[in-house]
Amino acid sequence: MRYLMVLLLSIAPGFVLAQSAVSALTIDDAVSIAIRSNPKLSAAVHDVKASQSGVLSARSLAEPSILFTPGITSLSGTGEELLISQPLELNGTRTARTGIAAARLRQTQAQSVIELRNLVFAVKTAYYELVRSQEHLALTHDLLKTAEEFDRIVRRQVELGSRPGIDQTHTEIEVLRAHQQVRLAEGQKGVALAALNTLLGREPSTPAGSLSLLSPLSNTPHARNRESLFRQALSDRAEIKAELAAGDIFRQEVRLTRAQGLPDLAPQFRAGSVTRRFDDYGIGIAISLPLFDYGSRRNRIRQSEESVRAQDSRAEAARNQVRQEVQQALERLQSAEAALREYDGGLLEKTQLLLEASRKGLEAGQTNIVAVLEAQRTFRSVQTERLNAQIAYVQAEAELERATGATPSTLLKALLGKGHNLK
């Protein structure tokens, strides 16, 4: 938990480069800018600071009570004009009060961790969606060029009389469809860019710069130990820690209520006369004896005990939810990984060969135009599917990272620098 506070409180104002100076936007750059600019994380920092002050306040001894009753007449009518009493809280109320504040601090810290990891996941998801849209836009431009090339070839052949005019109608329709795909892809890119810029605290229309390319998937399968991932998630997920901290708050409230029913000592200083002369003074000690309880204290204890049981159930529900999210992320990751290997294992290459062979057959006048267009559509579909599979893979990695409660080590190193304890 300590690394979170170091992370959130020690980000130097000049760490992130000015937006105008950024020529390339990597995934870690995007996450760093979001952490720097996100108002929810700023609120989380202030919440943690407030909880820290609450712990210091709870540790302090209760304030003394000072009763000053100056006499208006020669006979004041009271036993003393000055009475100072200092409760010692030996019955455990201060300890329980401090326990409540400490549990609230842990709860606030856990909630700030949740905000951080959700933000990292949201930024990565938006970043990959923008990469997808840019790659898809480039693909539609390439397919438009191919469609226009086919249309030129068929137009010449129609003019020479080697092809029927209906074939040119087919290619013209394909060019129009390709133009529509380009326009749709441009709109999708704008939507994805606006989403990412909003997370980065920028104007929605701000150019993103050049994004880092998605690295090709390694042919070596990643070894993932399910049991190890489950243990890590159950140990690190802040959602569980937040529920446990809430339960601790109620446990400490039980202690506090019981302590309030125990006797306590309060040293006193009294003075019978202060305004006219300092006289009749002395030191004593008061003993509070909360002997009577008409049900208020007893029912407050029962209320807090039931709340403890409720929080125990919520913590178990959070553990179940964490297990589910880890399992789902693993399934998505393995599915995307398998799909990518199929595409890179020969499927993508075969569609490219099919398209090239169709082009040559078209130029030679030996291939039917319907077969050519079908080869082009197959190539487009496989390219799009391969891109979607790669995006699904990296998004599943980000989802598994969030599900296990991990924080990107590269981000931590970049933000914290050397010499900081990340544990």
**Mean pLDDT for the stretch of residues 380-390:** 88
Examine the pLDDT at 205 and tell me if it is beyond 90: no
Examine the pLDDT at 11 and tell me if it is beyond 70: no
Q: What is the pLDDT of residue 215?
A: 61
Residue ranges with strand state E in 264-333: 264-273, 279-288
Examine the pLDDT at 83 and tell me if it is beyond 50: yes
State how far the Cα of 250 lies from the Cα of 256, in Å rounded to an integer: 10
**Percentage of the residues of the chain whose pLDDT score is greater than 90:** 43
Adjacent-strand bridge partners of 287: 265
Instruction: Map residue 273 onto helix, strand or coil.
Output: strand
Residue 85 phi, psi (nearest 5): -130, 130
Domain 2-416 carries which CATH code? 1.20.1600.10
Q: What is the pLDDT of residue 22?
A: 40
279-288 and 82-85 strand pairing? unpaired
Q: What is the pLDDT of residue 223?
A: 65
User: Global pTM?
Assistant: 0.79
Examine the pLDDT at 230 and tell me if it is beyond 90: yes
Q: Is residue 56 very low, low, confident or very high in pLDDT (cuts 50, 70, 90)?
A: very high
Examine the pLDDT at 416 and tell me if it is beyond 70: no
Q: What share of the chain is helix, strand, coil (3-state, %, to 5)?
A: 70, 10, 25
Q: What is the pLDDT of residue 201?
A: 85
State how far the Cα of 387 lies from the Cα of 385, in Å rounded to an integer: 5
**Mean pLDDT for the stretch of residues 301-319:** 96
Examine the pLDDT at 231 and tell me if it is beyond 50: yes
**Percentage of the residues of the chain whose pLDDT score is greater than 70:** 86
Maximum alpha-carbon separation in the chain: 130
State how far the Cα of 297 lies from the Cα of 287, in Å rounded to an integer: 19
Spatial strand order of the sheet with 279-288 comes to 65-68, 82-85, 264-273, 279-288
**Mean pLDDT for the stretch of residues 197-219:** 74
Question: Residue 20 is encoded by which pair of tokens?
Answer: 């105008």
Lowest mean per-residue pLDDT among 141-145, 191-195, 256-260, 341-345: 341-345
Q: What angle do CA 230, 404, 119 make, to 5 degrees?
A: 160
Examine the pLDDT at 13 and tell me if it is beyond 50: no
Kindly state the DSSP code that residue 346 receives in the 8-state scheme. Answer: I
Examine the pLDDT at 93 and tell me if it is beyond 70: yes
Examine the pLDDT at 7 and tell me if it is beyond 50: no
A 10 A CB-CB count for 79 gives: 10
Residue boundaries of the structural domains of the chain? 2-416
Q: Is residue 78 very low, low, confident or very high in pLDDT (cuts 50, 70, 90)?
A: low
State how far the Cα of 399 lies from the Cα of 124, in Å rounded to an integer: 9
**Mean pLDDT for the stretch of residues 241-269:** 94
Q: Is residue 275 very low, low, confident or very high in pLDDT (cuts 50, 70, 90)?
A: confident
268 or 13, higher pLDDT: 268
305 or 346, higher pLDDT: 305
